[in-house]
Chains A and B, each alone.
Chain A
Amino acid sequence: MDFLLEGFRNVTWQMGVMYLVGIALIYLAIKKEYEPSLLLPMGFGAILVNLPLTGVVNYEMAGIGEVAGIIEWLYDVGIHASEAMPLLLFIGIGAMIDFGPLLSNPKMFLFGAAAQFGIFFVIAAAVILGFDLKDAASIGIIGAADGPTSILVSQVLKSTYIGPIAVAAYSYMALVPIIQPAVIKATTTKKERKIKMPYNPSNVSKGLRISFPIIVTFIAGFVAPQSVALVGFLMFGNLIRECGVLNTLSDAAQNILANLVTLLLGITISFSMRADQFVNVQTLLIMGLGLVAFIFDTAAGVFFAKILNLFSKKKVNPMVGAAGISAFPMSSRVVQKLGLEADSQNHLLMHAVGANVSGQIASVLAGGMILNLIPQMIK
C-alpha cells in the first residue's frame, strides 16, 4: 500500500506556499469580489498544477512514456503557440466598449497616453533591481492595468515571470478602488478636486462610430506595427458592435466569447504558477513593482491634467487624468466618488469614462510600442 503515500512524500514546502496562494486568490475572488472571473480560476489552477505528481501538466508514466496534461496543453496551444487566448479576449472587450464619451471630447485621448508613464518608469526600476531588459519590460507592462496585454507582452518577450505578472496585473486592477484614491489625494488639493467640468457632449454620428475602429487600426498599424494584433482585435470587436448589422455576433463576442475565454484563460495561466517558478524573491519584487506602476500611472495622469490647466482656459479636474489608466470602469467610478466627496454637485463620471476608455486604447498601444522597441534594443 506504499503507493498511497507517494503523493505525500513528494510535497515540498514551496508547493505548500502555492496552496496558500491559491486559497488566498479564491478567498479574494469570493469574499472580496476582486476580479473573481480571473482570480478564482487562477487560484484553483495554482492548486491543481502544484499537487505532487499532478496529471494536469505533462508527466512521464513508467512503461508508457510522456502523457499530456490538460493545463499544459491549454497553455501550449492557447498562449505559448500564438497568444490566441488574450487576443480573442480583446474581441470581446472591444465589443463591450462604448467609445462615445471619448469621441464627443477628443481631448481625452491625451489623458490615456499620460497615464501609461508608470509602465516605463517601472521598466527602468526593474532594470535597476537586476532584471534583464526583456523581463523588466514584461514587468513594466503590469502598469497597463490590462490583464490580457500583460500576458501577451510577457509571453511574446518570453519572460520567465508570466505567472507573477498575471497575478499582479489582475490583483492590482481589482485594488484600483483602494490604490487610486490614496494617490489622487496625495497629489491634489481639495480645491483642485472641487473643480467642476460641465458636460456638453457633442453628438457622435454613426459614421464616426463606425469609422473610428478602422481609423485607429490604420494609424496604430502604420506607426507601431507590432501593436496590430492587440489594437486590431480590440477594434474588430468594436466594429462588430458599432456596425449595426451584426448584433447577434456582437452579443456573442460580449458574452459567450468573453466569458469562455476568461474562464479558460484563468486556469490556463496557472500553468506558470508552478512552485519551482513562482516561489522566489523575484515574485515579491514583481508584486512590489506592479504596485509602483499603478501609483506612477495615476500620478502621471493627475500631473498631466495640472500641466494642461496651465495653458487652458477651461480647467480640467486633475482627478480625470487619473482615470486615464485602462482599468475600466473602476477608475471612472473612483474619480466620480472623489468628485462627489469634494463637492456634492461635482459630477465627473462622463469625463472620467472618456479618459478611461482612452486608457484602454493607450494601454494596448503601449504594449505594441514595447514589442516594437525592445527587439531593436537587444539585437
Chain B
Amino acid sequence: MLNFLASIGRYVEARVYINDLGSALTLMGQGMVGIFVVMAIISLVVFLITKIPSKK
C-alpha cells in the first residue's frame, strides 16, 4: 500500500516538474518575442518621429 502511494507521489511530482519545464520554455518563447515586439514598436515610432521635418 505504501509503495503504491509512493509511486503515485512520484508520478504527481514528475507531472508537476514536466509542466513547470514546459511553462518555463513557453515563457522563454513568449517573453523574448514580447520584448522584441515592444522594443521594435518603440524603435519604429522613434524612427518615424525623427523623420518628421521640423519647422524652419
* A373 proximal to B (CB < 8 A): yes
* A88 proximal to B (CB < 8 A): no
* B27 proximal to A (CB < 8 A): yes
* A53 proximal to B (CB < 8 A): no
Given A124-B21, A127-B21, A208:B43 Cβ within 8 A = no
Given A110-B40, A121-B28, A127-B21, A362:B46 Cβ within 8 A = no
Given A106-B46, A133-B20, A208-B49, A362:B39 Cβ within 8 A = yes
Contact partner, B27, options A113, A120, A132, A216, Cβ 8 Å:
A120
Given A133-B23, A208-B49, A369-B34, A361:B28 Cβ within 8 A = no
Task: Tell me if B21 and A109 are in contact (CB < 8 A).
Answer: no
CB distance from B9 to the nearest CB of A (A): 15
Q: Which residue of A lies closest to B37 (CB)?
A: A223
- A361–B40 Cα distance when bound, in Å, is 12
- A204–B50 Cα distance when bound, in Å, is 8
- A120–B54 Cα distance when bound, in Å, is 42
Task: Tell me if B28 and A362 are in contact (CB < 8 A).
Answer: no
* B41 proximal to A (CB < 8 A): yes
From B24, B30, B32, B37, name the one whose CB has the most chain A CB atoms within 10 angstroms. Answer: B24
CB distance from A123 to the nearest CB of B (A): 5
* A358 proximal to B (CB < 8 A): yes
Tally A-B pairs: CB < 8 A: 110
Task: Tell me if B46 and A219 are in contact (CB < 8 A).
Answer: no
Task: Tell me if B41 and A120 are in contact (CB < 8 A).
Answer: no
Given A120-B31, A224-B34, A365-B39, A219:B23 Cβ within 8 A = no
Contact partner, B50, options A106, A120, A216, A219, Cβ 8 Å:
A106
Contacts of B31 in A (CB 8 A): 116, 119-120, 366, 369-370, 373
Q: Which residue of B lies closest to A107 (CB)?
A: B43
Q: Which of B29-56 contact A (CB under 8 A)?
A: 30-32, 34-47, 49-50, 54
Contact partner, B38, options A133, A136, A219, Cβ 8 Å:
A219
Contacts of A361 in B (CB 8 A): 39, 42
Q: Is the interface of A mostly helix, strand, loop or mixed?
A: helix
- A202–B50 Cα distance when bound, in Å, is 9
Given A119-B31, A136-B20, A103:B46 Cβ within 8 A = yes
Contact partner, B24, options A127, A211, A372, Cβ 8 Å:
A127
Which interface class (under 10, 10 to 19, 20 to 34, 35 or more) fits A? 35 or more
Task: Tell me if A110 and B27 are in contact (CB < 8 A).
Answer: no
Contact partner, B47, options A106, A116, A123, A365, Cβ 8 Å:
A106
* A85 proximal to B (CB < 8 A): no
- A136–B26 Cα distance when bound, in Å, is 14
Q: What are 29 A-B pairs at a CB distance below 8 A?
A: A106-B47, A109-B40, A109-B43, A113-B40, A114-B36, A116-B32, A120-B32, A121-B28, A124-B21, A124-B25, A126-B24, A132-B20, A133-B20, A136-B24, A137-B27, A202-B50, A204-B50, A205-B54, A219-B38, A219-B45, A220-B38, A224-B34, A362-B39, A369-B34, A370-B27, A372-B34, A373-B30, A374-B27, A377-B26
Residues in B lying within 8 Å of A, measured CB to CB: 17, 20-21, 23-28, 30-32, 34-47, 49-50, 54
**Other A-B pairs beyond A106-B44, A219-B45, 17, CB < 8 Å:** A106-B43, A106-B46, A114-B36, A120-B27, A120-B31, A124-B24, A124-B25, A127-B21, A205-B50, A212-B46, A215-B42, A223-B34, A361-B39, A365-B35, A366-B35, A370-B27, A378-B23
Residues in A lying within 8 Å of B, measured CB to CB: 103, 106-107, 109-110, 112-114, 116-117, 119-121, 123-124, 126-128, 130, 132-133, 136-137, 202, 204-205, 207-208, 211-212, 215-216, 219-220, 223-224, 358, 361-362, 365-366, 369-370, 372-374, 377-378
